Structure 1
Amino acid sequence: MASDTAAAEGSSLVFHPMDQFIVKPLFGDGAVGMFTITNVTLWLFLAVLAVIGLMVIGTSRRAVVPTRSQSIAELAYGFVYKMIEDVTGKDGLVFFPYIMTLFMFIVFANFLGLIPMSFTTTSHFAVTVILAFAVFITVTVVGFVKNGAGFLGLFWVSSAPAALRPILAVIELISYFVRPVSHSIRLAGNVMAGHAVIKVFAGFAAITLVSPISIVAITAMYGLEILVAFIQAYVFTILTCVYLKDALHPSH
């Protein structure tokens, strides 16, 4: 009986979907410190290199008949430019370099994370929180610099009944400071969940009887994750534009 139990335990499928998100030193096996070069560092650096490769090197030989890299860069440029113009108006176009960089970085970080054996940096809140707080601080500073005390009009719902305005002001103020939290969790949570599900299906693929089903499921999930990688970059960027619009035009 004991041998049967041991054999059953030995043959059981053991996999840990969350292991893929562990931060590890790139060199050696020591503890991770503030200045330790980790797998996160490597893949963040590769994402930056990928953006530079497409937007700088890929467009360095601009031609009337564009190359594939130039075409992709021009499509991305036009896509983000139109997004900013539609959401914030002409006033927001001055922030195009920042928002374009943000969009391209998240897109490449998401797509690089889909490479087998890679590391998905945008699945970590440490990365997405920094991006979200950078947007939050930028928007807040722009709001006060451009509008002065008039930026506080963002929290005062003048169209509401007078008795409700103080209550709504408190709610608006709380929701404003919650923005970086929801902004960061939305990106990291969606990316992490998708990768974890793929890992679960990959673990089940080791079972012979369900292997074909798992392979189909993994393929479908991988295709979905490709779509999610772009959509989450788009959502993060368009929310940045919405927040910027509030800073430029704070009146309700």
Structure 2
Amino acid sequence: MAGQAETAADGAEKGGLVFHPMDQFIVKPLFGGDTIAWYTLTNVTLWLALAVLAVVALLVLGTSKRAIVPGRSQSIAELAYGFIYKMVEDICGKEGLKYFPYIMTLFMFIVSANFLGLIPTAFTTTSHFAVTVVLALAVFLTVTILGFVKNGTAFLGLFWVSSAPLALRPILAVIELISYFVRPVSHSIRLAGNLMAGHAVIKVFAGFAAVAVISPVSVLAITAMFGLEVLVSFIQAYVFTILTCVYLKDALHPSH
């Protein structure tokens, strides 16, 4: 306790926190050093690779036996498959099912990365905008290109609200255009922001756990927040995927 008090005093004198909740999001080289280039293997690289391996293990290795009475991994894989298939069919219709593999892969990667980030000392890759922006831009570009390929210039009908009074249509067209290009921004910030905030709060409560007086309360708060983060990890993957389906529907059926 004396050492903790001295550390706290030193931190107070320097005007900073004794613990730093955002340190868990720092990108670090796996094999030491301070320089990070595009080819450097980092903690982000490691946990991105583990997320991909987790998806392969569940969907490929877990279903390889194709048992009539499925085991745990096969049951989870089949539930995930049915869940996303129904989502795509309900939102995009039968025409959207040809894009099911992409949406399924997107969901499984995000949910795997989110859950892996809950492991103690793990790195939450989906808390970084560098990751979520790439995912959001991939969806945005795919949907936009698909919209023009499938509909030609008729895709621009997405921005022309024909049901509105004629005088308001140009104004609404500008609003629709702005909201369309804001999609990748909101798509990426929503995922990264929610995960970053939850993990930072857990780290804050963990820092207070060292103080004997409030340690039991802190442990209870950590447990509650961890349970909430498990739910958030799934919900954010679901939200990202369902918005992708909505954007895909706009590309397939752009007219208002």
Q: Do the two structures share a fold, i.e. TM-score over 0.5?
A: yes
Query: What code does the residue aligned with 1:200 have?
Result: V
Q: Does structure 1 retain, via aligned residues, the 8 Å contact 2:187–2:240?
A: yes
Q: Go from structure 1 to structure 2 and tell me whether the alpha carbon gap of 1:6 and 1:67 turns closer, same or farther (over 3 Å shift).
A: closer
Q: Give the deviation of 1:30 after TM superposition.
A: 2.5
Q: Give the deviation of 1:7 after TM superposition.
A: 8.0
The residue that corresponds to 1:98 in the other structure is 102
Structure 1: give runs of 5+ residues left out of the alignment: none
2:232 to 228, 232, 248: 228
Size of the alignment, in residue pairs? 248
1:26 to 26, 30, 45: 30
Q: Does 1:67 align with 2:82?
A: no
1:49 to 50, 53, 56: 53
Structure 2: give runs of 5+ residues left out of the alignment: none
Query: What code does the residue aligned with 1:9 have?
Result: A
Distance in 1 between the 2:52 and 2:67 partners? Answer: 25
TM-score (norm 2): 0.95
The residue that corresponds to 1:210 in the other structure is 214
The residue that corresponds to 1:128 in the other structure is 132
Q: Give the deviation of 1:246 after TM superposition.
A: 0.3
Q: Does structure 1 retain, via aligned residues, the 8 Å contact 2:114–2:126?
A: yes
Q: Give the deviation of 1:29 after TM superposition.
A: 1.6
* Aligned CA-pair RMSD: 1.4
Q: Does 1:187 align with 2:203?
A: no
Distance in 1 between the 2:205 and 2:197 partners? Answer: 13
Distance in 2 between the 1:7 and 1:78 partners? Answer: 53
The residue that corresponds to 2:9 in the other structure is 9
The residue that corresponds to 1:246 in the other structure is 250
Where in structure 1 do 4 or more consecutive aligned residues deviate above 2 Å? 5-8, 10-13
The residue that corresponds to 1:108 in the other structure is 112
TM-score (norm 1): 0.96
Q: Give the deviation of 1:156 after TM superposition.
A: 0.1
Q: Does structure 1 retain, via aligned residues, the 8 Å contact 2:129–2:188?
A: yes
The residue that corresponds to 2:122 in the other structure is 118
Query: What code does the residue aligned with 2:161 have?
Result: V
Q: Does 1:144 align with 2:148?
A: yes
Q: Give the deviation of 1:6 after TM superposition.
A: 6.9
